Chain A
Amino acid sequence: MHGFRCLKIVAVLVMALPSSYLNADMLARYQLQRVDISSPTAVSAAAADQREWLVWKYGNRVQLQQQGAAYSVVWIRMKNGSLERKEVYPSFKTVVSYEPGDAAALGLADSWEGSAALFDGAILKSLEKKSSNQLGGYEGMLYEGTLHGRRYRVLWQPAKKLPAVIHIRSARSEERISLIESFDSAKDGGYIQPDTGDTYDDLDYADIGDNETHPLVQALHRTGRHSPYYPNH
C-alpha cells in the first residue's frame, strides 16, 4: 500500500518555514511508526515508515506539520460547527481547501474532535475501556477493540485531550503513534509554527483537476504524490 514499504525518513525536522506568529495554545510532538506486515519479507528494517508530527492547537484551529512534508494541514472550526480543512504549501504560496463534500469523497471524514484530538472520538467511544491505565510507558485511560478489521489500542490522556499512544494493527500493517512531548504553551516548545497560509492563493481541491497549468498541480502530477509530498524525493 502506498509504497511506504520502501519509505524511510530521516527524522530531521525542517523548521525554516516562516511563521505567522499566531498564538498557539499548545503544542504536541508525535512519532508515527508504521510497519508493513503483509508478508514475512516485508517486515524488515526497510519496511518501517517512521515520521514525526508537530501539532499546534489554538482557538478554533489545529495545524499539523509532518517532518519533511512540503505542506501542513490546518483544520478550522467555523461558527456553525462545520470544519474546514486546508493544506498549506509555503513554497507555492498556495492553500488547497477541501469543501465538506470533497473531504467526504476522499475519505477524509474529518471532525473537529478527531482533528483536535488526532483521533476520531466516535471510534474511541466504540472501544472498550480497560482497567489498565498504562501503554508504552505512558499513563492514561486505555481503550481497546476491533473495528473495520483493525485492532485498536489507545491510551487517552483526558487532561491534555490527546492520545498518548495509538496502536492500530490490520492484516497488512501496524501503526504506532506515540506522544514524544507536549507543551501547554506552544512557545515553550521552541518550534516555529509553519505559515497558516492566510495570505496565500486559494485552490479548491475540486479545482485541481482543472488547473493543470498551476505550478503546484504540475508538481503534484510530477511527483505522483499528493500527500504526503516530499520535494526532495
Chain B
Amino acid sequence: MKFQSSRIAVAVGLALSTLFVSAEETPDSWYEEGAAIVKHNAKVAAGAKRNAHKRAKNIILFVGDGMGVSTVTAARILEGQMKGMSGEENALFFEKFANLALSKTYNTNQQTPDSAGTMTAMMSGIKSDAGVIGVNQNVVRGDCDSQKGNEVVTALELAEMGGMSTGVVTTARLTHATPAATYAHIMDRNFEDDRDASKFSNPGDCVDIARQLVEFPQRFAQQYPWVDGLEVAMGGGRRSFIQRVDGADPEDGGRGERLDGRDLTSEWTADYNNAAYVWNQAQFDAIDPARTDHLLGLFEMSHMEYNMDRPTDSGGEPSLSDMTDKAIKILEKNRKGFFLHVESGRIDHAHHATNPKRALTDAIEFANAVKTAYEATDPEETLIIVTADHSHVFTMAGYPTRGNPILGKVVGNDSAGNAKSSEQLAADGMPYTTLGYTNGRGFYELPGQNTADAIYGQPVNPQGRANLTQVDTTDEGFHSETGVPLGAETHAGEDVAIYATGPGSSLVNGLMEQNAIFHVMNQAGHLQDRAGHGPRRQFGEDE
C-alpha cells in the first residue's frame, strides 16, 4: 500500500516543532522532512541559552497519570486514524513541543513507582516514598507522628507565597494522589477525608486531604497573610467534602464521607469573596470567570467519567479541555501570573482495567487540553510542561502493516511488503492484538451478553490467550489479553517523557530525575525568589 504523501511542516516560532501531516510519501519527502527537523532543532538549540534564562510568568504542569511512552504512541496513532489518516505520522499536540527529556520515575523505596511519591517529587524537588504525599522519605507511611517536620514545600505553595494565583484541575478525585500532592501533606495517600482515619495505625492529629484543600490559607496565615488559597479546584471526589448523611449529595441523594459534620463545599463559598461551588455541567457553564475569584468544581462523588462516557453522565460534566479553559480565564486575572496543574487521572485507571480504548481516548482529550492551554496563554510568558508520573505495562507489538487499526488485531505484510488479506495467526493458531499488557485481568467477554458472570462480575482469566477471531477488539468494552494474571494491571518502571514549551523550557533536556521537574519550574518561574522563601525546602526548616 502506498501512502498519499506530502507533508505540511508547521512551525510556530521556535515554540512548536515540525508537524508532519502526511498526504503523499516519497523517498524525497522523507529525506526533506528529516532535514527540516534537524534544521528546526538547530534553531531551537541556538535559542536555548536565551530561553533558559527567560522568566516564566505563568507555569502549567500537565500530568497524564500513567501515560507512558507506549500510551503516547498508541494515542497518537488512534487520534490520526480517527482523523482518517494512517495514524503513525500523526502527532499529539504536546508532541510538537520543542524540548523533550526522559524522566526517571522510581520512588525512594520502590523501583516501579506510584503517583503519590512521583508527584511529590515533581512538586517539591524531593523524591519520596510510594504512598505518601507532600512529605519526604523520612515519614513512615500511615504514622502521623513521623510526619511532623517532614513536610516539603510545593511549587503551588511557593506560587501562593509569591502572590500568584493557583489552580488544580483533574479528572480524578481532587483528593487523589496526584492533584493532592500540589497542596497537601499527608503520611498516606488514602487519607482523603476524616472517615479514612480508621485505616491507619496512627492517624494522630493529621488533617485529611479534603480539609487541607479548603483550609489552605490557614496554614500560611501567620507568615504569609496574603496567601488566599487556590483560586481554582475542579475534578471529582465530592464525597470527601460532604457529610455522611442520607441526602447530602445533591446529584443522587446519597451520602458523603465526612463524619465531622462539616460541609466543605459551603465552607469554600463562605470563606472566600466571589466564590462559587458547582457540581454539574449547567452550573459550570454559568460561571463567569470575570466575576469569579475562587471556583470549586466537584462533578462526581468519586472520579469523573472517562471522556468517552461523559455524554451519558446523569448530571453532565465538563471535559478536561473545558475545565482547563475556564481555569485559565480565572487565573489569568492576576497580573503576577499563575501556577496551574492539570491532570488526566483516568488514563491510569483504564490501563489498570486493561481497557485500551478508554485509556487512549482519555490521552487524546488530555492532548486537547494542552492545546487549549497553549492557545489560551501567551507562549512567550507561559511555561508548559507535559509529562507522566509513571508508565504502565502497556505494549505495542507484533508487525502490523502501516495504518493497521491500532485497537485491532495484527494484520501483517506479505513477503513483498504489502498488507495481507487476513489476520496474522500466532503459533496457537489464533489472532492477536497489537496492544496488550504484560499483566492484568486478561481478556474476557464484552458487554451486551447477559450471563451469570455479567451479573456477578468477571473473574481474572488465568489462561492468557483467548480466541479473538470473532471478537471486535476495537469495541470500548474490549479488555486485552495479559501475560501474568493479576487482579489489576500494574504500573511500569521505565522512564516517561517530559515535553516542554515556553520560557525556561530548554531546561528540560536529557535524562532527568523526576524531581528535577520542580527545579525547572522553580528556576523558570523564580518561584522561591518571588515567595521570599529562600532555599528552604521544608516547612520545618528555620528561616
Contact = CB atoms under 8 A, between A and B. Distances in A.
A195 interface: no
Contacts of A220: 487-488
Contacts of A202: 257
Contacts of B303: 99, 101, 204, 206
Given A101-B305, A209-B349, A210-B352, A34 B457 contact: no
A18 B447 CA distance: 34
Interface stretch (A21-29, A73-81, A131-139, A182-190): A73-81
Interface string A54-95: 000000000010100000010010111110100100000000
Contacts of A207: 349
Contacts of A64: 455-456
A150 B452 CA distance: 13
B358 to A, nearest CB: 6
Contact of B448 (A81, A99, A109, A205): A109
B510 to A, nearest CB: 29
Contact of A107 (B177, B313, B346, B444): B444
B231 interface: no
A71 to B, nearest CB: 9
A209 B349 CA distance: 7
A104 B486 CA distance: 20
A188 B185 CA distance: 53
A228 B488 contact: no
B448 A97 contact: no
A105 B477 contact: yes
Contacts of B460: 224-226
B459 A80 contact: no
A104 B446 CA distance: 10
B454 A108 contact: yes
Given A100-B305, A107-B447, A212-B490, A225 B346 contact: no
Interface stretch (B37-45, B50-58, B247-255, B402-410): B247-255
Q: Name B's interface SS.
A: loop
B388 to A, nearest CB: 14
A107 B458 contact: yes
**Residue in B312, B444, B451 whose Cβ sees the most chain A Cβ within 10 Å:** B451
Interface of A: 1-3, 32, 34, 53, 64, 66, 73, 76, 78-82, 84, 87, 97, 99-102, 104-109, 114-115, 118-120, 123, 147-150, 152, 168, 175, 177, 201-202, 204-213, 217, 220-221, 223-228
Given A220-B488, A221-B487, 10 more contacts: A34-B452, A80-B251, A80-B253, A104-B476, A105-B309, A109-B447, A109-B454, A209-B353, A225-B459, A227-B453
23 contacts: A1-B461, A1-B466, A2-B453, A32-B452, A76-B254, A79-B252, A80-B251, A82-B252, A99-B300, A99-B305, A106-B457, A107-B454, A115-B455, A204-B302, A205-B353, A206-B352, A210-B348, A212-B490, A224-B486, A225-B459, A225-B460, A226-B457, A227-B457
